Amino acid sequence: MSDVSREWPLWEVFIRSKQGLEHKHCGSLHAADARQALQMARDVYTRRQEGVSIWVVPSALITASEPEDKAEFFEPAGDKIYRHPSFYDIPDEVGHM
C-alpha cells in the first residue's frame, strides 16, 4: 500500500472562459497539493487562452451519483415535458431566450 500513499491525489479542474460566464469542468490532473494543482491546471488547461479563472477541487471531495441509480434518479423525469417552460407565448419584445 505504500505506493498508493505516495501517489499524488487527483484534482478536478474548472475553468471560467471569460468574465460573467460560469466555471466549467474541463478535466483532471494529479498534484501534491492545492497550490500545485492550480499551477498545473494553468499549464495543462489554459495554454490556448481558455480561461481567466481556475478552480481546483480534490476529486475525493466530490460525491457522485452511481451509474446503477440511473433508472430511479433520472428516468422518471423523462415524461414530464410540462416542466419545460415551452408552453408560454413569448412577447416579441423579449427576443431570443
Q: Which residues bind another protein (CB under 8 A)?
A: 8, 29-32, 35-36, 39-40, 42-44, 47
Nearer residue to another protein within complex by CB, 47 or 80: 47
Q: Is the dihedral of CA 23, 25, 31, 32 positive or negative?
A: positive
Taking the least distance from each CB to another protein, the nearer of 25 and 30 is 30
Minimum distance, C-beta of residue 61 to another protein, in the bound complex (Å):
20
Cβ-based nearer residue to another protein, 7 or 68:
7
Distance between CA atoms of residues 10 and 56, nearest Å: 10
CA–CA dist 66, 2 (Å, integer): 29
- The minimum distance between CB 51 and another protein, in angstroms, equals 15
State in angstroms the smallest separation of the CB of 44 from another protein: 5
CA 82 to chain centre: 27
